[in-house]
Amino acid sequence: MFQPATERQISYITALQTRAGIPAGVPTSLTTSEASALIQKLKGEVTPVAFTTPAPLVAEGVYRRSADGAMFRVQTSRDSGNRYAKLLLVGGGWGYEKGAIYTLKADERLSVAELSAWGLTTGVCAICGKLLSTAESVARGIGPVCASRY
């Protein structure tokens, strides 16, 4: 006895065909068992949508983005607990760049020696963004408070 494919099977087949990128269409002579066999076959052709997990955020510290040399300090907000990056301005102080933390890579994190070298050329403490004022700080490239902490 001929058992035609159900409405549900037909709409499911059409949906799978569309997702698999093949022209949708179901022969009217399709039986229930043929329809379920076709569904199994189509399921194998539909590639599941890949889940893209966001890359983990970089650790706290000072980073120099290799693409443009921009300096960022990565820190965690005490209020929200969110980690973010603020842009270190060459003249001292901080700027803002939307989504900057997502542009930084772990290997762009600077060591104390690199921070010191940056401070020596710019006269700004790379950790707190303040201008180096004392002769000792200028010679070290890092401000006194940051030197004791970092």
Site residues for Zn ion per CB under 5 A: 125, 127-128, 143, 146
Instruction: Give the contacts of 53 (CB within 8 A, at least 6 positions apart).
Output: none
Nearest to Zn ion of 42, 142 (CB atom): 142
Nearest to Zn ion of 45, 60 (CB atom): 60
**Cβ contacts of 111-120, under 8 Å, gap ≥ 24:** 112/142, 112/150, 114/64, 115/62, 115/141, 115/142, 115/150, 116/140, 116/141, 116/142, 117/141, 118/64, 118/71
Which helix or strand (DSSP H or E) is residue 130 part of? none
Nearest to Zn ion of 62, 146 (CB atom): 146
4: three-class secondary structure by DSSP: strand
Nearest to Zn ion of 13, 147 (CB atom): 147
Nearest to Zn ion of 34, 114 (CB atom): 114
Whether 43 contacts 17, CB under 8 Å: no
DSSP string, 81-92: --EEEEEEPTTS
